[in-house]
A and B are shown apart, each in its own frame.
Chain A
Amino acid sequence: MAPVAPRSGDAIFANVERVNAELFTLTYGAIVRQLLTDLEEVEEVNKQLDQMGYNIGIRLIDEFLAKSNVSSCVDFRETAEVIAKVGLKMFLGVTASVTNWDADGTCCSLILEDNPLVDFVELPDTCQGLYYCNILSGVIRGALEMVSMKTEVTWVRDMLRGDDAFELQVKLLKQVPEEYPYKDDE
């Protein structure tokens, strides 16, 4: 299944409705600015962005699975590849590369060379602790939670802080098996 995924990412991206990139970037910038004005604390804003991303992710996963028709992934490695090549391509228009696998295959890094959320953005000195793209980590966490994987997603490298690329570390904490809501005695 893995060789099919990279091509289908581009094909799906060509078929979904798209929005102007500058509108998207400016809208996201306005959201972050407003959060900073309302919450004032950089840590609070980071948490709020993550929460917003989580809420988006739990809904986005259904659209992703419906439009992309990928079959169930065999293991976490495949999951990471699908996110990087198909998921990010479909929704952000960019692909990421997956590297830095650890020994158990439960932790990897997604590296984004190009990120449409941060066009034109420069962090001022007052917001140096801000993870501007924290919404992405929430989206991935939320989406994976809906397919029974509890993960922890953190930023390792951030171009707005002077690094050379965006690197997200995705760590699988545990696979939660499906729980049936019905109790036996009902």
Chain B
Amino acid sequence: MIVCVAVVGHQNNPLYIQSFTEADDALKLHHIVHCSLDVVDERVNNPKKSGPMLNETFLGLLYPTENYKVYGYLTNTKVKFILVTTDLDVRDADVRNFFGRFHAAYVDAVSNPFHVPGKKITSRTFAERVSNIVKSFGLSSAG
């Protein structure tokens, strides 16, 4: 089950944070997202493979902590998407699929002429689409 998604700008400023569970402490989730940014920077600055990595966007599992798993995705404009989930067995393909759709929703939200790049995303359509993507992620990985 996805507990939290976040969009972080290229200066590590938060653009959008949404938690999907009331049970856990929102502050703890924000803290996890914040810590995972360090891992993202580390991965970006020290690429492990020297060969051409075509899909540099998907960073994969950043680090497992307690009962959460954190996945990262980096766009070419250095905007990061962070996904925090409590699922124990999550397929790589599902997460990639999730981030693909999330990226599409993000691009549509940013294309709004009234959106100021670098400011928080206030689009209600974006929030709805993200909720839908999160809901269908749960279904596809359960099936």
Query: B114 CB to closest chain A CB, in angstroms?
Result: 5
Q: Which residue of A lies closest to B114 (CB)?
A: A124
Query: Can you pick out 23 interface pairs between chain A and chain B where the beta carbons lie within 8 Å of each other?
Result: A22-B111, A26-B111, A26-B113, A29-B112, A29-B113, A29-B114, A30-B113, A32-B113, A33-B113, A33-B114, A119-B111, A120-B108, A120-B111, A120-B112, A121-B112, A121-B113, A122-B112, A122-B114, A122-B125, A123-B114, A124-B114, A124-B122, A127-B114
Interface residues of A (CB under 8 A from B): 22, 25-26, 29-30, 32-33, 119-124, 127
Which residues of B have CB within 8 Å of A120?
108-109, 111-113
Smallest beta-carbon distance A181→chain B, Å:
43
Within 8 Å CB of A29, what residues of B? Answer: 111-114
Determine how close the nearest CB of chain A comes to the CB of B72; give it in whole angstroms: 26
CA distance A121 to B109 in the complex (A): 8
A119 to B125, CA, bound (A): 12
Q: Restricting to B47-61, which residues have a CB under 8 Å from any CB of A? A: none
> How far is it, in angstroms, between the C-alpha of A136 and the C-alpha of B136 when the chains are bound?
39
Cβ of B28 within 8 Å of any chain A Cβ, yes or no, is no
Q: How many Å lie between the Cα of A99 and that of B109 in the bound state?
A: 33
Q: How far is the CB of B141 from chain A (nearest CB, A)?
A: 30
Distance of A8 Cα from B113 Cα, bound (Å): 34
Tier of interface size on chain B: 10 to 19
* Residues of chain A within 8 A of B123, CB atoms compared: 122
**Distance (whole angstroms) from the CB of A162 to the closest CB of chain B:** 11
Nearest Cβ distance between residue B71 and chain A, in whole angstroms? Answer: 27
A-B pairs, top 10 by smallest CB distance, nearest first, are A29-B113, A120-B111, A33-B113, A124-B114, A120-B112, A122-B123, A122-B112, A120-B108, A121-B112, A122-B125
Within the complex, what minimum Cβ distance (angstroms) separates B89 from chain A?
A: 36
Complex Cα distance, B112 from A119, in Å, reads 8
Chain B residues with Cβ under 8 A from A122's Cβ?
112, 114, 123-125
Query: How long is the Cα–Cα vector from A30 to B113 in the complex, in angstroms?
Result: 6
Measured between alpha carbons, how far is A25 from B108 in the docked complex, in Å? 12
**Chain A: minimal CB distance from B111 (Å):** 4
Q: Which of A29, A33, A120 is the most central at the interface, judged by chain B CB atoms within 10 Å of its CB?
A: A120
Cα separation A173 to B17 with both chains bound (whole Å) = 53
A110–chain B nearest beta-carbon distance, Å = 24
CB neighbours of B111 from chain A (8 A): 22, 25-26, 29, 119-120
- A25: B residues at CB distance < 8 A: 111
Give Cα distance in the complex from A123 to B114, angstroms: 7
Given the complex of chains A and B, what is the CA–CA distance between A33 and B112 in angstroms?
10
Given contacts A29-B111, A120-B109, A120-B113, list 5 more A-B pairs with CB under 8 A: A119-B111, A121-B113, A122-B114, A122-B124, A124-B114
Complex interface bits, B111-143 against A, C-beta within 8 A gives 1, otherwise 0: 111100000001111000000000000000000
Q: Which of A26, A119, A121 has the most CB of B within 10 A?
A: A121
Which of chain A's residues have a CB closer than 8 A to the CB of B108?
120
- A127: chain B residues at CB < 8 Å are 114
User: How distant is the Cα of A122 from the Cα of B125 in the complex, in angstroms?
Assistant: 8
